Amino acid sequence: MGVFKVKGGKKLSGSLTIQGAKNSALPILAATLLIKDKSVLHNCPDLTDVSAALKILVMLGCVCVRDDNTVIVDARDAANFEISKELMREMRSSVVFLGAMISRMGRAVITNPGGCELGPRPIDLHISSLKQLGVLVEEADDKIICTAPKGIIGSEIRLDFPSVGATENIIIAACISKGTTVIKNAAKEPEISDLADFLNRAGGKVKGAGSSVVTIEGVNRLYSTEHRVLPDRIVAATYLCAAALTGGEIRLKDCNAVNMMSLLDFFTQIGCMVKSNGKEICIRGKEIYRPTKQIITDVYPAFPTDAGPIVVPLFSKIGGVQSIKETIFQNRFRYISELNKFGANMRLEGDTAVSFGAVKLKATEVKCTDLRGGAALVLAALCCEGESIINDIHHIERGYCNMHKCLNAIGGNATISEV
């Protein structure tokens, strides 16, 4: 298993280019199944979750080639309609392939993605939405068997919760269909707009992505296209936090600041200097920060749940009571016990994590519990004198390209090793 060794205590400085967004690349890769031709994705991050998505596409009969950050998917011969249990386990969000498989092959067999580090990951909204599009769904053992005997038929779907994945599945499934589909209470995350941009570039007719009402006018086919995946807003927030934690000053390139307003507001409110021209973001940190109102994570454009773990290590530099309330995932705070091994002194009160003033963190050995919780531990290590050891970094490699190299490019001292 991989291990990070981080020697902290230095102010970070320098500039860094932000990777493409994992949570945009994954649904777009699923959508390439709809195109009986080649699709070219630029700025596609080289991550283990993306590799898992490419393995799924190959299993379904596609040819996938990666050239640095460009991925070419040739889906002309895609014909298989079953994803193995192993691959489903490798990546929970493989459920987003469901709509694409049913649209392309007329049927799909997956195993229930099951829960993950963040808690149960139900797919009831995905299934109920696909049924409204004319899909027949059977569950046998742990398999979910979907068929669309009459093809995908447009419908009006109101989501009980603005699920990102369910919104993506509906958009993908309805893109090539008979009639028009309207999604009400759709998720508004920027990654959904990026998916719609890709599909429209390929000849789709998706309107309203990024708002709570998305209309998809079914077309007969989509065509080969190229697309550049949008920048990863959570990865950008991670490195901004690294600078803030060490009192450093960094410049991030190839960002999309407009997608990060709630995050940039937080950094400003506690006392960081933040400047942005939209594509670049500069941050200058301090030694100590002022508390701000309770952070409450919620669906976009509120403070993103994925950024919660990223900012919590900064609470150790806030001179006063600071809390964060998690409203999306039940087990989002699993990393807190590991963070407290640095001396963070965070207290959990149900769905809220609270810190009661600034503390000096001390180097220690910890282990990652999940993707963003693991990133939080690396961030904490950056502001400790001495060497910290972070185990089970495979969680981090799901969402961060070469995190140690990125940190070292801005003055960090991180090494990776296998044990």
Residue nearest to ligand EPZ as judged by C-beta position: 165
Q: Give the helix ranges, DSSP H, for 48-189.
A: 48-59, 85-90, 98-105, 124-132, 164-175
SS (H, E, C) 74-100: ECCCCCCCECCHHHHHHCHHHHHHHHH
367 to 396, contacts with ligand EPZ by CB under 6 A? 371-372
The stretch among 74-82, 124-132, 217-225, 377-385 that binds ligand EPZ (CB under 6 A) is 124-132
147 to 206, contacts with ligand EPZ by CB under 6 A? 161, 163-166, 187
Give the containing element (helix H, strand E) for 72.
Answer: strand 70-74
State the Cα torsion 307-233-390-241 to the nearest 10°.
-70
Contact between 135 and ligand EPZ by CB under 6 A: the answer reads no
Which of 8, 19, 23, 231 is close enough to bind ligand EPZ by CB under 6 A? Answer: 23
- Using the structure block, give the residue that is written with the tokens 């040739």: 74
Contact between 399 and ligand EPZ by CB under 6 A: the answer reads yes
Which of 97, 329, 333, 400 is close enough to bind ligand EPZ by CB under 6 A? Answer: 329
Contact between 305 and ligand EPZ by CB under 6 A: the answer reads yes
Of residues 74 and 194, the one with the C-beta less far from ligand EPZ? 194
Kindly state the smallest distance separating residue 159's Cβ from ligand EPZ, in Å.
9
Contact between 232 and ligand EPZ by CB under 6 A: the answer reads no
How is residue 49 written in tokens?
A: 């979750």
Residue 317: which region, alpha, beta or left (left: phi > 0; alpha: psi -120 to 50)? alpha
Of residues 64 and 91, the one with the C-beta less far from ligand EPZ? 91
Which of 65, 76, 122, 287 is close enough to bind ligand EPZ by CB under 6 A? Answer: 122
Which residues sit opposite 215 in a β-bridge?
A: 182, 207
The stretch among 21-29, 61-69, 148-156, 382-390 that binds ligand EPZ (CB under 6 A) is 21-29
Which of 60, 229, 257, 328 is close enough to bind ligand EPZ by CB under 6 A? Answer: 328
How is residue 75 written in tokens?
A: 């889906």
Of residues 160 and 287, the one with the C-beta less far from ligand EPZ? 160
Of residues 45 and 399, the one with the C-beta less far from ligand EPZ? 399
Which of 18, 52, 73, 123 is close enough to bind ligand EPZ by CB under 6 A? Answer: 123
The stretch among 20-28, 38-46, 213-221, 348-356 that binds ligand EPZ (CB under 6 A) is 20-28
Which of 90, 306, 338, 397 is close enough to bind ligand EPZ by CB under 6 A? Answer: 306
Which of 47, 125, 376, 410 is close enough to bind ligand EPZ by CB under 6 A? Answer: 125
Of residues 93 and 181, the one with the C-beta less far from ligand EPZ? 93
Of residues 105 and 166, the one with the C-beta less far from ligand EPZ? 166
Of residues 167 and 215, the one with the C-beta less far from ligand EPZ? 167
Kindly state the smallest distance separating residue 171's Cβ from ligand EPZ, in Å.
13
| Dihedral pair phi/psi, residue 299, rounded to 5° | -70, 160
116 is catalytic: yes
Kindly state the smallest distance separating residue 223's Cβ from ligand EPZ, in Å.
26
Buried b (16+ CB within 10 A) or exposed e, 7-18: bbebbbeeebeb
Of residues 123 and 199, the one with the C-beta less far from ligand EPZ? 123
The C-alpha atoms of residue 44 and residue 185 are separated, in whole angstroms, by 29
The C-alpha atoms of residue 195 and residue 193 are separated, in whole angstroms, by 5
Q: At what angle do helices 22-31 and 48-59 cross, to 10 degrees?
A: 10
Contact between 139 and ligand EPZ by CB under 6 A: the answer reads no
Q: Which residues contact 383 (CB under 8 A, 6 or more apart)?
A: 8, 9, 245, 246, 313, 316, 317, 361
- The site for ligand EPZ, by CB under 6 A, has a size of 23
How is residue 295 written in tokens?
A: 């952070």
The C-alpha atoms of residue 251 and residue 239 are separated, in whole angstroms, by 10
Tell me the CA distances in angstroms from 260 to 42, 95, 275, 280, 301, one per residue in order: 22, 26, 12, 12, 8
Catalytic residue among 44, 64, 116, 255: 116
The C-alpha atoms of residue 382 and residue 371 are separated, in whole angstroms, by 17
Kindly list the catalytic residues: 116
Residues that bind ligand EPZ (CB under 6 A): 22-23, 26, 93, 121-126, 161, 163-166, 187, 305-306, 328-329, 371-372, 399
